[in-house]
Amino acid sequence: MAQRNYVFTSESVSEGHPDKVCDRISDAIVDLFLGHDPYARVAVETLATTNQIVLAGEVRGPESITPDLMESVARHAIKDIGYEQEGFHWEKADVKVLVHAQSADIAVGVDAAGNKDEGAGDQGIMFGYACRETEALMPAPIFFAHGILKSLAEARHSGAAPQLGPDAKSQVSLAYENGKPVRATSVVVSTQHIDGLDQGEIREIVRPHVLNVLPEGWMCEDDFFYVNPTGRFVIGGPDGDAGLTGRKIIVDTYGGAAPHGGGAFSGKDPTKVDRSAAYAARYLAKNVVAADLATRCTIQLAYAIGVSRPLAVYIDTHGTGQVDEDKLSKVLQEMVDLSPRGIREHLGLNKPIYARTAAYGHFGRAPEADGGFSWERTDLVPGLRSAFA
């Protein structure tokens, strides 16, 4: 029997965290290519350290997208995050672009030809998850951890909190009773700040953002509210620690509350099922929960490189399901074509909509008018309810 009373913890990192800087740059490059050609192929990784940025990977797209243009996009991403520091500056950093053409061996597996449909860009397993813990149908610990950092970032960008720097981390531990979150047992926030502020001053800058994000009455005891536990956080971002694309995959998804297939999202165009199929799995799981067919739902998809159809579709409603899971799997696959092409077309993924996903989670966000976060729509709900009426 599953444990019903426990404490569960998730962490988040801000847009200025070294790894998130890299995710943002890589996704900005994806947007650059898709903005010029919706069917461009991109797999670009970024490394960042003290005033050094390296872009590496493979692409297939218009020749008009030059290394100089990619460098310009990288600098703009860093400027937008807010880095104008001595050790990491959008204008002064050295940017190396080591990007080459996509491998012909990969391209032939992905490309449609003759009677062969477009295949998956790689093998792999992807998971989607949804639950009733928050209105966004996300696990509460990661949802609130993201919310705290997003609130701090908005205050920094607006000028309401000029003392804060771009780099920050949060960690939220929630007590669960009878399987439901009821309060925070501890909250940890570490945020970069200007020199001259003491720990107590930073603590009081951070406190209202935590109180505004957590539900009323959920704040932990003051002894378990930790802000900048080391006492000082002036040197941050890639100057304080090197960053790499794809190192925060649990932050990007469900905070450890659900499985992760292992593949990162950022820097990849939507032919890569690491990204598109993970979005599709979330989309399906969210619609199952939104349709009241379960209060928790995990979906796994499995693919092979060059093969268009998923090898397996697994659904687990964790004992909360109101319908037969085998029938649910069949109905979902009838409603949504889970081939790489089918996912891209159904969710409208061949658009420059990815830089905005690089921080504060790929899931639990509101669908946007231009197609951003389309995988968060709940437009399958009427069909699902009708199928199981």
What are the catalytic residues? 17, 19-20, 45, 58, 169, 233, 241-242, 247-248, 268, 272, 274
286 annotated to bind ligand: no
269 annotated to bind ligand: no
337 annotated to bind ligand: no
Task: Give every strand in the sheet of 52-60, ordered side by side.
Answer: 94-101, 52-60, 41-49, 243-244
Residue 216 in tokens: 């009323």
Strand, helix or coil for residue 314: strand
Q: Which of 340, 342, 373, 333 is nearest to 356 (CA)?
A: 373
248 annotated to bind ligand: yes
Residue 336 in tokens: 């949504």
Give the dihedral sign, CA 274/276/281/286. Answer: positive
CB contact at 8 A, 174 and 140:
yes
CB contact at 8 A, 338 and 301:
yes
58 annotated to bind ligand: yes
Strand, helix or coil for residue 277: helix
232 annotated to bind ligand: yes
Give every CB contact of residue 243 below 8 A, 6+ residues apart in sequence.
17, 18, 19, 20, 21, 22, 46, 47, 48, 49, 237
247 annotated to bind ligand: yes
88 annotated to bind ligand: no
80 annotated to bind ligand: no
113 annotated to bind ligand: no
168 annotated to bind ligand: yes
102 annotated to bind ligand: yes
Buried b (16+ CB within 10 A) or exposed e, 2-38: eeeeeebbbbbbbbbbbbbbbbbbbbbbbbbbbeeee
169 annotated to bind ligand: yes
Buried b (16+ CB within 10 A) or exposed e, 285-317: bbbbbbbebbbbbbbbbbbbebbbbbeebebbb
| Gap between the Cα atoms of 227 and 98, Å rounded | 39
Q: Regarding beta strands 243-244 and 41-49, do their DSSP bridges make them parallel or antiparallel, or are they unpaired?
A: antiparallel
Residue 11 vs residues 124, 169, 318: alpha-carbon distances, Å: 25, 7, 24
Residue found by looking up tokens 């998804």 in the block: 253
Q: Which of 17, 389, 13, 388 is nearest to 171 (CA)?
A: 13
278 annotated to bind ligand: no
CB contact at 8 A, 92 and 98:
no
CB contact at 8 A, 151 and 14:
no
Q: Please give the annotated binding residues for L-methionine, written as ranges.
A: 58, 102, 241, 272
Q: Please give the annotated binding residues for K(+), written as ranges.
A: 45
Q: Please give the annotated binding residues, written as ranges.
A: 17, 19, 45, 58, 102, 167-169, 232-233, 241, 247-248, 264, 268, 272
Q: Please give the annotated binding residues for ATP, written as ranges.
A: 17, 167-169, 232-233, 241, 247-248, 264, 268
